[in-house]
Amino acid sequence: MEILDFITRNYIIILAIYGSIISTLGIILSIYNYNRDKAKIKVNASIGLFSGTSEDGKVFLFIKAINSGRRPITLSSVGIRTSDGGNILMRKISLPMELSEGKSHNEWIELEKLREISCEFAWYRDETDKLYKSKNIKNMLDVYFGRRKKRKKSKPLDIRPLE
């Protein structure tokens, strides 16, 4: 009977606590859905070759945008940011284009065109003028062009049990 008496005497406080818990959970769920329910673009840059084309033997820098979000987004331009703050705009045959959920888009530039240029990162821009960046590509290009030696992987430690 003690619990029932407590509830009947303090039902307003219990309802207030219950309401605050439910509203807090609702706010958390709304924030979670808002963050989950938008476009998320990831930009990757890599060096590679075309095979079986007229471009055989040429090496390219490929820039890829992947929409891992849940909303489509329209990409409008692609390029490379240089160390001096300038931009190298790349060809835009297929841009602007809508990138739906789970889809990707590739652009490329012949790597020799970047030999004398210090580049920081590759980027895509959407129709709302938001910029999506890749990781820094300076080290990758410096190693490719021989401006910096590739780090040697350290040898694994030779661990032997104590006798």
- Supply 99's token pair: 């990138």
Share of the chain above pLDDT 70, in %: 86
| Res 39 pLDDT > 90 | no
| Res 42 pLDDT > 90 | yes
pLDDT band at residue 19 using 50, 70 and 90 as cut-offs: very high
Burial class from Cβ neighbours inside 10 Å (0-12, 13-18, 19+) for residue 141 reads buried
pLDDT score recorded for residue 56: 66
CA distance 127 to 28: 30
What pLDDT, in 10s, does the model give residues 63-84?
999 998 888 999 999 999 998 8
What pLDDT, in 10s, does the model give residues 117-131?
889 999 999 999 999
